[in-house]
Amino acid sequence: MCIRDRSEMYNLTRKLALERIEKEARDRGANAVVDIHTQIIPIGVGAKEMLMVGTASYHPAFGDLQRPVTSELTGEELWNLTKMGYAPLRLLLGTSVYSLGFARGIGAFFKTLSRGEVNSVTQLIYEARANCLSHIEKEANEIGADAVIGVKVFIYEIGSSFVEVMAIGTAIKR
C-alpha cells in the first residue's frame, strides 16, 4: 500500500535539497553541478537527512542559465554525452513510501522463519519502484527531456513495515 502523504513529503524534501544545491552553484557563478552524490542518513528515531554533494562548475557551452544543469554523472560521462549531441538538463528524483500493512506484515514475518522468497515484500518493492520511476518519467516530460539516463534505485527500510524506494537519474535532451 502506497503511503501517499509520506511519499509526497519525501519528494518535496528531495526537490528542496536539489534546489538548494542549484542555488549554491548559481550564487558562486557556476552553471552546472556534476557528480552529485546523494545519501540518506538516519539522524534519530524516524528522522533522516538527505545529503547531496556535487562539484559546481562552469561550462561556456551552457551559457548563463536560470537553473544550473545538475547530474549524478561524472564530468567525463557528461563530456562524452555532449560529444554524442546530448545536453544534460537536470537531476531527477522520485520517491515512493510503501507499507506492508499489518496482515501482510504478519504473513511476511512467519515466512521469514522458513526458507524462500517473501512474495508480499517482493511485490511491494516492485510496486514502489514502478511508482518512483513514474515520478521521474512525469518530471522528464514536464521539462521536455528526450530521455533519462544513469538511473539508480535505492531502497531504505523505514521502521518495521515501511519501505522507501528512491530513484535518481539525469534528464537529457538532444
Rounded to whole angstroms, the Cα distance separating 174 from 166 reads 26
Distances 67 to 44, 50, 64, 84, 162 between C-alpha atoms, Å: 33, 21, 9, 23, 34
As a residue count, the chain comes to 174
Residue ranges of the alpha helices (H) in 28-144?
75-83, 102-112, 119-142
Rounded to whole angstroms, the Cα distance separating 157 from 28 reads 36
pLDDT in tens, the chain (174 residues): 446 676 677 778 778 888 999 999 999 999 989 899 888 777 766 667 778 889 998 888 788 888 898 899 888 888 888 889 998 899 998 888 877 664 454 454 445 555 566 676 778 788 888 988 998 999 999 999 999 999 998 887 776 677 788 899 999 999
Burial class (CB in 10 A: 0-12, 13-18, 19+), 84: exposed
- pTM for the model stands at 0.77
